[in-house]
Amino acid sequence: VHQSPSFAIFRAPPRAVMRVLSACGVVCLGKTISFTWKDCGDSSTHGHVTGVTTKPDPPVLGTTTAITGTGTLDEGVSSGTYNVDVSVPVIGKVVSHSDSICGDSSFDIKVLGVNVGKVSIHGLSCPAAAGTLNLEIDALLNDKLPAGIGQATIAMTATDQSNGKLVCMNVEAKIEPKWL
């Protein structure tokens, strides 16, 4: 009786299976994003970021990630503007987007003219009262972005209706392989 060699691995001793898997190398199942964030506001900044969570955690390329930023405001806000700058090594700034902090807005992420993602910001319901609040962001990055060399610096700032500093946050993000 002749059996297909592809089934032989299932009959092999565990040590032999490990040798075969080692010879084949580790399998990359996809890519995730690791990130660190820091509130960069000073004593004159009216809002401060106190936490950031993602679903899924960690974010996975090719899947929409729901990002929730939690923070505090020491003033009510009737209007204002946010700005997002994204820079990548070697190329420099790839995104500089400004819009109203009130209501929803979105923008594409392009690197050298190629669309690699989309960000949707669910802004404040203005007027927003002082206190604790959450800001919801949906982000989708193309799963073809390379792991290891794919990294970005993201600077997010906002000003209030009087052009006062509302919030400042810096994020360092890196695309990581997800190994088996």
Query: How many structural domains compose the chain?
Result: 1
Would you say residue 11 lies in a domain?
no
Greatest Cα pair distance, the chain, in angstroms, is: 84
**Alpha helices (H) along the chain:** 8-11, 14-24
Instruction: Give the per-residue pLDDT at 119.
Output: 96
Would you say residue 15 lies in a domain?
no
Indicate the pTM of the whole model. Answer: 0.79
Would you say residue 2 lies in a domain?
no
Would you say residue 113 lies in a domain?
yes
Residues 163-172, buried b or exposed e (16+ Cβ, 10 A)?
Answer: eebbbbbbbe
Would you say residue 19 lies in a domain?
no
Instruction: Give the per-residue pLDDT at 105.
Output: 97
Q: Distance (Å, rounded) from C-alpha 105 to C-alpha 164?
A: 21
Q: How many CB atoms lie within 10 A of CB 147?
A: 17
Would you say residue 109 lies in a domain?
yes
Instruction: Give the per-residue pLDDT at 3.
Output: 43
Structural domain of residue 174, as residue ranges? 28-179
Q: How many CB atoms lie within 10 A of CB 139?
A: 19
Counting as low any pLDDT under 70, the low residues of the chain are 1-29, 148-150, 179-180
Would you say residue 167 lies in a domain?
yes
Instruction: Give the per-residue pLDDT at 176.
Output: 86
Q: What is the CATH classification number for the domain harbouring 37?
A: 2.70.220.10
Would you say residue 23 lies in a domain?
no
